[in-house]
Structure 1
Amino acid sequence: MIHIAVVGLGNISGKHLHGLLLFPERCKIVALCDIYPEKAESAKEKYGLKEARVFDDHIKMLSSELKIDLVHICTPPSTHAEIAINAMNAGVNVLVEKPMAPGLKECDEMLEAEKRNGVVLSCISQNRFRNPVWRLKKLVDSGLAGKILAAHADSLWYRGHCYYDLWWRGTWEKEGGGPTLNHAVHQIDILNWIKGELPEEVTSLLANVAHDNSEVEDLSFSAFKYADGTAAEVTASVVHHGEGQSIVLQCEKARIAAPWSIVADVTQDNGFPVPGGNAVLEKELNEYYDKIEPLVYEEHDGEIDDVLTALEKGTRPLISGEDGKRTVELITAMYKAGFEKRTVMMPITPEDGYYTANGLMRHAPHFYEKNASIENFSYTNIIPTGDMGRSK
C-alpha cells in the first residue's frame, strides 16, 4: 500500500484526488496540506477522506510521524522546487504538477535531489495518456507515415479577464509566465516525446492582447528548427474563443494528427496532388491506428496509474524529471527568443543568463502591472483540461 500526501488543494488537486481514489487497493491518501487549511478540510469532506490528516505547512507534514511514500505537488509553479526537494530529502517520492519549475536551475536541483536520495521524481504531463496522443506516438514509431517533416501544435484556450485576478497568476515571479509555460507545456512535452529531441533553433513572438491585469504574455507564436532540418511551430494562447488543442504532423507519406485525422496525398507528374489521394495508405494507417491497444486509464488517472506501477515494480515512470526539465528548457528558449526578438540557439547552459528563474525575470517585459488581486476563487466552478480528441 502506497501512502500519499497531496500538497496544494486548489482546482487541479481534484484531478489527483479522483485518480488516486480509483486505486483503493494500491494507495491511501493519508495527508492533505495547504497554506489555507480550510481548503484541505473542504477536500477531506468532499472526497470522504476521513483518515487523512490536514496540515498547513509541508515541512510540518514531512516532519510528522506520518508514513508518506509519495507526495503530489499541486501548488503554484514558484513553489514546486522547494516542496519537491524537501520531500525527496525526507526520502519521499514526488509527482509534481506542470511545469516542473519556472527555471532550469531549479529543475537541475530537483534532479540532483532525486539522484542523491534514491527516490523517484515524475512530472505531470497527462496528455501523453490520452488515447489519441498515445496512438499517434505509436503510429509515428511504426514508420508507416514516414519521417516527420513539420509539426504544428496548437494550445488554444480561453481565459476571461478575471482569470488573472488570482494573487499568484499573471506574475513572472509566482506563475513563471503565461500560456507559453502554463498551457502549451502539454503540447511541447508531446512534441519532445514524439520527436525524441530538442530543436537547435528557436524563434518566438510574445504579446498580451486582452489581460491588462497580468504582467505576462497571453499569446505567443514560436517556430523551431531541428538538427535534421525539420521544423515545428507552436501557438500558445488564452484568448482563443472555442479553444482547441491539437498536434498535426506532416510526414513524408501522410498528415496524421491528434485529434485523429489523416490525409495521404500522392503526386501527379506535374507535382500537383492526385484527386482522392492515396486511399490505400489511408486505409492501412487507419487500420493500424484502430488496432493499437487503448489505454485503460486516461489523463491524470492514467499517469497516476503509471507512477503507482513504477513504485510497485521498482521501474521508472513514463514521464521522468528529465522529461520535465526538457520541456522547461525549450520554453525558456522560447521566452529568451521572444524577449530578445531574435532566434536563439539551444541548449540553455548554466552560464546562460536565462538559466535561473531570477535571470529570466530580470529579462522579462511587464506587458502590464498587476496592481490588485484576490486570495481565492470559488472552487465550485468547472475546470476544463482541454480536448485532444475523444477516446477511441
Structure 2
Amino acid sequence: MHSTTSADPSTASTPVAPYGVAIVGTGGIANAHANALSAFPDQVRLVAGIDLAPDRAKAFAERWPVSRTASSLQEALAEGDVDTVVICTPPASHGPLAIEALEAGVNVVIEKPPTLSLRQLHELAEAEERSTGTVSCIFQHRFGPGAEQLRRLHANGSLGRPLVGVCNTLWFRDQPYFDVPWRGKWDVEGGGPTMGHGIHQFDLLLDLWGPWTEVTAYAGKLARRTATEDVSCAIVRFESGAVATITNSLISPREASYLRLDYELATVELDHLYGYTGADWRFTPAPGADDLTWTAADGERSSHQSQYEVWLRARAEGTPPPVGLTDALVTMELVAAIYQSAITKQSVARTEIQQGGVFEERMDGFAEPWNEGKTSA
C-alpha cells in the first residue's frame, strides 16, 4: 500500500499550480473544504461542485468561487480541467468515487472515514497502485500547532517512554441528528461515533504514539434510536508497551475532546472540542524534570486548511501527500478491532484483524448487534 505510485510515470504529465479541484457532495462538510481551499487562490481553482441535487450544487457555487456545477463525477471529469477530486459525500460512496477518480488519473482527497471497511480500503489502495493519482485522507488534527513539537520530543526520547494515555471524544448529538436517513446505518455510514467522530482524536493518538498491538473494547446503544453504537470504550496496548483508554460518545451533554499522554518525564494534555490552537496544550514536567520545557505553539487552529497547507507543500516538492492510505490503514484497523472486540467480547490483536474475516468486510461483522429489536452488547 503506497501513497504515491504511478501506473506509467514516463507518460504522466506534471501538473502545476493552480490545481483544478472538484468537490463531490456539496453538503455541510464541503463548505469546510471550500473555505480551506479558498485560502490558497494562487495554488487552487475550484472548478466544479458536484451533487445529485442541482439546487444544492447551485447554492454551493453561489457561495464559493466555483466555476460550474455537475450532477456526476463523470460529467465533471469530462471537461479535462480537474486535477484533484475532494470527496465529501456520505461514507458509503467514498470508496467507489475515489476509485472512479483514480481510474481517470486524478488525485483524491477524501473525508473520513476513507472507506466503509478494510476490504474497501485495500481495494482503494490497489486502484491507487494502478493510477497516476494519489490519495490523501482528511485527518486534520495531525496538523495543528503543538503536534509537531510533541512528535519531535517523542521521537528524540526527551520525555522518556510513553506510559499511559487517555483519549476522549465526548460529544452530544440529539435524536434528530440520527434521524437523517443515511446516519446510523452500517451499510451507509459504517458505524457510530467510533467510526465517524472519535476517529479524528484517536488518529492523532496513533500518529503520536505509533502502532497499536491489542485492544479490548465495549460498545453499546445507550440513549439513541440508531442501528449503530452511540458509545464505545476501549483499552489499547501499543508496541511500546504503553496503554491508553479511548472513549467515543455522542451522548455527553458537556462536550469535550481530550488527549492526555503520560510519559516517564512529563504529562502532555490537549483539551479542545472540534479543533485546537497552541493555547489548548498543557505541559507538566515530572518532579525532578524541571529542565524540560514546552513552547506554546503559535499558528492556526487544527483544521482542513492546516492539512491542505501541508498537502500543497507536498505537491510543490513532489513528495507523498499527507496521510496516505498506509497511514489511514493503521487507524481503520483499530476501528475494526474495537468493533470486533465489543461484539465478540474478546480482546483483538492487530495481527488478528490483519488476517481478514467478517470484520474486514464490514465493521459490525454483519452481526448488526444494536439494531432495534436486538439485544445490546
TM-score by length of 2: 0.87
* Alignment map for 1:352-367 (pairs within 5 Å): 352-357=357-362, 360-367=364-371
Q: Which of 244, 248, 258 does residue 256 from structure 2 map onto?
A: 244
* Alignment map for 1:207-246 (pairs within 5 Å): 207-212=220-225, 214-246=226-258
Q: Residue 144 of structure 2 contacts residue 300 of structure 2 at CA under 8 Å; is this kept in 1? A: no
Q: Residue 209 of structure 2 contacts residue 238 of structure 2 at CA under 8 Å; is this kept in 1? A: no
Deviations 1:29-81 (A, max 9, x none): 001111112111111111243xx22111222223x123110010001111110
* Alignment map for 1:339-358 (pairs within 5 Å): 339-347=343-351, 348-357=353-362
- The aligned residue for residue 285 of structure 1 is 293
Q: Which residue identity is paired with 1:323?
A: D
Q: Compared with structure 1, are the counterparts of its residues 364 and 61 closer, same or farther at alpha carbon in structure 2 (3 Å cutoff)?
A: same
Deviation, structure 1 residue 202: 0.8
Deviation, structure 1 residue 297: 7.1
Q: Which residue identity is paired with 2:179?
A: D
* Secondary structure of 2:360's aligned partner: coil
Deviation, structure 1 residue 264: 3.0
| % identical equivalent positions | 31
- The aligned residue for residue 383 of structure 1 is none
Q: Residue 141 of structure 2 contacts residue 200 of structure 2 at CA under 8 Å; is this kept in 1? A: yes
- The aligned residue for residue 275 of structure 2 is none
CA distance in 2 between counterparts of 1:335 and 1:147 reads 29
Q: Number of paired residues?
A: 347
Q: Which residue identity is paired with 2:310?
A: D
Where structure 2 has 5 or more consecutive residues not aligned to the other structure, the ranges are 1-17, 272-280
* Alignment map for 1:1-392 (pairs within 5 Å): 1-49=18-66, 52-62=67-77, 64-197=78-211, 199-212=212-225, 214-259=226-271, 260-266=281-287, 278=288, 280-281=290-291, 284-286=292-294, 289-290=295-296, 294-295=298-299, 298-347=302-351, 348-357=353-362, 360-368=364-372
Where structure 1 has 5 or more consecutive residues not aligned to the other structure, the ranges are 267-277, 371-392
- The aligned residue for residue 7 of structure 2 is none
Deviation, structure 1 residue 366: 2.7
Deviation, structure 1 residue 302: 1.0
Q: Which residue identity is paired with 1:57?
A: S
Deviation, structure 1 residue 249: 0.5
Q: Which residue identity is paired with 1:326?
A: V
Q: Residue 133 of structure 1 contacts residue 258 of structure 1 at CA under 8 Å; is this kept in 2? A: no
CA distance in 2 between counterparts of 1:19 and 1:309 reads 15
* Secondary structure of 2:257's aligned partner: strand
Deviation, structure 1 residue 109: 1.1
Moved more, 134-143 or 183-192: 134-143
Q: Residue 340 of structure 2 contacts residue 359 of structure 2 at CA under 8 Å; is this kept in 1? A: yes
Q: Residue 249 of structure 1 contacts residue 256 of structure 1 at CA under 8 Å; is this kept in 2? A: yes
Q: Compared with structure 1, are the counterparts of its residues 226 and 32 closer, same or farther at alpha carbon in structure 2 (3 Å cutoff)?
A: same
Deviation, structure 1 residue 349: 2.6
* Secondary structure of 2:37's aligned partner: helix
Deviation, structure 1 residue 11: 0.8
Using CA pairs under 8 Å that are at least 6 residues apart, name the structure with larger relative contact order, 1 or 2: 1
Deviations 1:154-206 (A, max 9, x none): 11111111101111001111000000110111122112111121x22111111
Q: Compared with structure 1, are the counterparts of its residues 225 and 298 closer, same or farther at alpha carbon in structure 2 (3 Å cutoff)?
A: closer
